[in-house]
Homo-oligomer: A and B are copies of this chain.
Amino acid sequence: MSERVGKYTLKMSHPVTIRSSVGVAGKKEGEGPLGEYFDITFKDNRLGQPSWEKAESTLQKTAVCELLRRNHLVNADIDVIFAGDLLNQCISSTFGLRELNIPFLGQYGACSTMAQTMLAASVFIDSGAADRAVAVTSSHFCSAERQFRLPIEYGGQRTPTAQWTVTGAGAALLDKSNGEVRVQYVTVGKINDLKIKDANNMGAAMAPAAADTLYHFFVDTNTKPTDYDLILTGDLGKVGSQLLKELLQRQEIDISGNHQDCGLMIFDLEGQDVHAGGSGCGCSGSVFCSYIMKQLKSGCLKNILFMATGALMSPTSSQQGESIPAIAHLLNIVRT
């Protein structure tokens, strides 16, 4: 029985444990600052598949299968899987997971998907609708580039505000046991659209949604940034992270002391030539499910906010002159 706190936030009434997680990454991500923390790193970004889309499906399937293996579970032990990705009709998820025979609820939150799937899984577990749930997402640089921008063979010039879609996946196992790492509060985001139209500047489009969700969470819970060890955003990158801080400053909220962004952590921005940072569902997915979860399990982090943001446009909407609506979903995760 989840309890509503304030206008937008839910408090879990029962223990909702993030039992385990697996972060999977591609070659470039493996060579980045978090390389040693990923559970599985692929040297070949094709993963032996005949297309980039099938490679991305394999990323997601690998993350889930490894998660089950490590926890000595079989597919039938999972009551429901929440999954989503960036590809049209979410085919990384549906094709990656189709053979698992697990009840499936497809989610679409663009790059906010890791937070959205964990949020939905948390409510299902807290309510008794599921005893054990998996939340999973993925992205792949090559499948994203050709769907959202240009075929990689074209060799297009990237703008300074552009971000690099992470090749990676994250899968988390949530259950109702009294585990160490628990979801305490969740906040469902609202769509924000401040009329940014530059599809090469996602950070700017997503920052207002992040500011909105974070603001409401602090109001609802009557807490402040310094109450948390870490305020972790998904893939705002360099531009969006700066804007988020500025937007919150206007509300007299200062997160500069403990804000980090998965998109800024996963790559060496200068050395790896990724411009404004990493992006994609797999960015926050792989970083949260590997590095952050390890920090929580070891007790180095004890009380964090994890908020992934998503840009809810499509190439069609951009071609029709539309701006970029965005959303941010938040979880407060504690180490007991």
Residues of chain A touching chain B, judged by Cβ–Cβ distance below 8 Å, are: 1-4, 7-8, 10, 13, 50-51, 53-54, 76, 79-80, 84, 86-91, 94-95, 97-110, 116, 119-120, 123-124, 126-131, 147, 188-191, 193, 312-317, 320, 322, 325, 327
How many angstroms between the C-alpha atoms of A95 and B324 in the bound complex?
A: 9
A114 to chain B, nearest CB (A): 14
| Complex contacts, A193 vs chain B, CB 8 Å | 98-99
| Complex contacts, A105 vs chain B, CB 8 Å | 107, 109, 116, 119-120, 188
A146 to chain B, nearest CB (A): 9
Check if B190 sits within 8 Å of A91, measured CB to CB.
Answer: no
How many angstroms between the C-alpha atoms of A136 and B86 in the bound complex?
A: 21
Check if B188 sits within 8 Å of A91, measured CB to CB.
Answer: no
Closest to A97 in B: B191
| Complex contacts, A102 vs chain B, CB 8 Å | 190
Residue from B53, B89, B126, B127 in contact with A108 in the complex, judged by beta carbons closer than 8 Å? B89
Q: Given the known A-B contacts A98-B325, A107-B107, are A314 and B120 also in contact in the complex, defined by CB atoms under 8 Å?
A: no
| Complex contacts, A127 vs chain B, CB 8 Å | 1-2, 123-124, 126-129
| Complex contacts, A1 vs chain B, CB 8 Å | 1, 127-128
* Selected A-B contacts with CB under 8 Å, 28 pairs: A1-B1, A2-B128, A4-B128, A50-B320, A53-B316, A84-B108, A87-B314, A88-B89, A88-B315, A89-B312, A90-B108, A91-B316, A91-B317, A94-B191, A94-B312, A98-B191, A99-B193, A101-B190, A101-B191, A102-B190, A104-B188, A104-B190, A104-B327, A105-B120, A108-B108, A120-B120, A123-B129, A127-B127
Check if A51 sits within 8 Å of B94, measured CB to CB.
Answer: no
Q: Given the known A-B contacts A120-B120, A129-B2, are A189 and B89 also in contact in the complex, defined by CB atoms under 8 Å?
A: no
Counting every copy of the chain, the complex holds 2
Check if B316 sits within 8 Å of A129, measured CB to CB.
Answer: no
How many angstroms between the C-alpha atoms of A9 and B87 in the bound complex?
A: 30
How many angstroms between the C-alpha atoms of A269 and B322 in the bound complex?
A: 37
| Complex contacts, A87 vs chain B, CB 8 Å | 314, 316
Residue from B13, B94, B103 in contact with A325 in the complex, judged by beta carbons closer than 8 Å? B94
Closest to A104 in B: B191
How many angstroms between the C-alpha atoms of A306 and B77 in the bound complex?
A: 27
How many angstroms between the C-alpha atoms of A317 and B52 in the bound complex?
A: 11
How many angstroms between the C-alpha atoms of A2 and B110 in the bound complex?
A: 29
8 new A-B pairs (CB below 8 Å) besides A53-B316, A127-B127, A127-B129? A4-B130, A87-B316, A89-B314, A91-B312, A95-B317, A104-B189, A105-B109, A106-B108
A186 to chain B, nearest CB (A): 9
| Complex contacts, A147 vs chain B, CB 8 Å | 316
Q: Which of A4, A131, A190 has the most CB of B within 10 A?
A: A190
A321 to chain B, nearest CB (A): 9
